[in-house]
Amino acid sequence: MEIRKVQITGGSSYIISLPKEWVRDSGIEKNDPLGLIVQPDGSLTVTPKITGKMAERTKIFNLNDIDNAETLYRLLIGAYVTGFNTIKIITPARIPSFAHKAVRQFIQASIGQEVSEETEKCIVIKDLLNPGEMPFENVISRMYVIMDGMLRDSMFALKTRDKDLAEDVISRDRDINRLYWLISRQYNLLLRNVSLSREMGMDVEMALHYLQVSRIMERAGDQVVRVAENVQGLLFVSLERKLMDILHILTSEIMNIFHSCIDSFFKRDLAGTDETLLKVQNFNRKCDDASKELSDISRLGVITVGYIFENLKRISEYAGVICETSLNYIVMEDS
């Protein structure tokens, strides 16, 4: 850290000199404008990036070092999440078929990515999404709506013995994943260019809490997938009406709890967060009680139903973690 003293000029203006190496490396000339951003902790960020536009960052993957679609797909996701807005895939020979497959999967799994150029030896993927077009709050809300629909459709598939619907629920998990990856990307873009905070509507510290919530929701979505997979094992099993009623009650209750924790996070509602934490504890006890009742039932499917109770309990626990994140967020803002 360099220490520089503040000076007064003109009797009322406070000035401080800039590090010469930083000025040279940043390409700053005389009379160039600089952006000043006050951070939540009181520090001041000085940046030459005053337009709020993303810097052009290009990642190149040479297929000489990659020989399968799965590896290339993971690398493309990594480049996307870390904020590269141009991705080039090159090879001295012809682009192999596995690369085309990986690119198609990547385009479907990401948001705002499109192939802008393609030749026999090169594929160029460009980011067409403006960071300000997808506010963090809207993305989190969309993740909740998808989760809610997945869980409700899982129960409807069980009720109607609809195998296709259960499979469709499982496939929707990729929509939650792509939204989580989008928030991760937005966060990384904000880290590299704090001037984007105005366009995104939040600072880095606030964005971190949204990133944490999205990660928790992505894991909760995995548990919803487990519910749908267990439902597939019950489609041809005759369940007692009592078990069906318990499942419907618990699934409805857990999504109401999840909605409460997300709503409290958005509103910075301390009382609502505390109330939701109590609901989480009560719901977990209900799941434990429901699991104990299964010991009195000697029919096919009770073990699988027990697994669903555990899945719902895990979803509830994730809601509790979001509440704890919300409390941290509220304390941070109050300070």
pLDDT attached to residue 241:
84
CA dihedral sign of residues 64, 67, 69, 73: negative
The CATH homologous superfamily for domain 58-131 is: TusA-like domain (3.30.110.40)
As given in the structure block, the two tokens for residue 118 are 């393609």
pLDDT attached to residue 205:
85
C-alpha span between 97 and 72 (Å, rounded): 12
pLDDT attached to residue 321:
96
Long-range pairs of 202-209 with CB within 8 A, sequence gap ≥ 24: 202/136, 203/39, 203/40, 204/39, 205/39, 205/40, 205/41, 205/332, 206/40, 206/329, 207/136, 209/265, 209/325, 209/328, 209/329, 209/332
pLDDT attached to residue 318:
96
The domain defined by 132-334 folds into Methane Monooxygenase Hydroxylase; Chain G, domain 1 (1.20.58)
C-alpha span between 213 and 204 (Å, rounded): 14
Domain boundaries, the chain: 7-47, 58-131, 132-334
Find the DSSP H helices in the chain: 20-25, 69-81, 97-109, 136-160, 163-171, 173-192, 197-200, 204-232, 241-267, 270-293, 302-334
pLDDT attached to residue 89:
95
Q: What are phi and psi of 58, to 5 degrees?
A: -120, 135
pLDDT tens digits, one per residue of 277-297: 999 999 999 999 988 877 765
7-47 CATH choice from 2.10.260, 3.10.450, 3.30.9, 2.60.220: 2.10.260
pLDDT attached to residue 335:
59
pLDDT attached to residue 52:
53
pLDDT tens digits, one per residue of 142-155: 999 999 999 999 99
pLDDT tens digits, one per residue of 199-219: 777 788 889 999 999 999 999
| pLDDT less than 50: residues of the chain | none
As given in the structure block, the two tokens for residue 172 are 């929707």
Model pTM score: 0.82
pLDDT attached to residue 298:
60
